[in-house]
Structure 1
Amino acid sequence: MADSLDRATLLYGKRAIETLEQATVAVVGCGGVGGFAIEALARSGVGTLILIDKDVVEPTNLNRQLCALTNTIDQPKTEIFKARIATIRPQTKVIVHTGWYDENLNDWLQQCHPDYILDCIDSMRSKQELIKFALDQKIPMICSMGMARRKDPLQIQICELEQTQNDPMARRLRQWKRKEKIKTKIMTVCSKELPMDMEPDQSLPSSIFVPASAGLAMAAKCIEDLTNE
Structure 2
Amino acid sequence: MLNEFSRTELLIGKEALEKLKKSRVAVFGIGGVGSFVVEGLARSGVENFLLVDDDVVCLTNINRQLHASRKTIGKPKVEVMRQRVLDINPKANVDIVQDFYLPETAESMLQGDIDYIVDAIDTVTGKIDLVMKANQRNIPIISAMGAGNKLDPTRFEVADIFKTSVCPLAKVMRKELKNRGIKKLKVVYSKEPPLKPMESGDDCATGCVCPEESSKKCTSKRQIPGSVSFVPSVAGLIMAGEVVKDIIGKDNKNV
RMSD: 1.4
The partner residue of 1:207 within 221, 225, 228 is 228
Amino acid at match of 2:137: Q
- Structure 2 Cα separation of the partners of residues 134 and 201 of structure 1: 29
TM-score by length of 2: 0.86
Taking the aligned partners of 2:15 and 2:235, their CA distance within structure 1 comes to: 27
Q: Deviations over 1:95-127 (max 9, x none)?
A: 000011122333334432110001001011111
Q: Which runs of 5+ in 1 are unaligned?
A: none
Residues 65, 229 of structure 2: 8 Å contact kept: yes
2:52 counterpart SS class = strand
Cα distance between partner residues in 2 of 1:202 and 1:132: 28
Number of the residue aligned with 1:217: 238
Aligned residues: 228
Q: Which moved more, 1:78-87 or 1:97-106?
A: 97-106
2:169 matches 1:169: yes
Q: Equivalent residue for 2:19?
A: 19
Contact 1:28 1:121 in 2 (8 A): yes
Give, as a single letter, the amino acid of the residue that structure 2 aligns with 1:54: D
Contact 1:45 1:92 in 2 (8 A): no
Structure 2 residue matching 1:129: 3-state secondary structure: helix
CA distance in 2, matches of 1:202, 1:19: 42
What residue in structure 1 maps to residue 202 of structure 2? none
Q: Is the 8 A contact 1:33 1:211 kept in 2?
A: yes
Structure 1 outlier segments of 4+, above 6 Å:
none
1:145 and 1:7 mapped to 2: Cα distance?
31
The DSSP-based 3-state class of the residue aligned with 1:25 is: strand
Q: CA deviation at 1:128?
A: 0.9
Contact 1:40–1:216 at 8 Å: present in 2 too? yes
Contact in 2 for aligned 1:67/1:77 (Cα 8 Å): yes
Q: Cα distance 1:129–1:202, how it changes in 2: closer, same or farther (>3 A)?
A: closer
The TM-score, its normalising length taken from structure 1, stands at 0.96
Structure 1 position 228 matched with structure 2 position 249: yes
Show the 5 A alignment for 1:36-115. 36-115=36-115
| Counterpart in the other structure of 1:137 | 137
Shift of residue 202 of structure 1? 4.3
What is the CA-CA distance between 1:2 and the residue it aligns to? 2.6
| 1:212 maps to amino acid | S
Larger displacement relative to structure 2 (81-90 or 200-209): 200-209
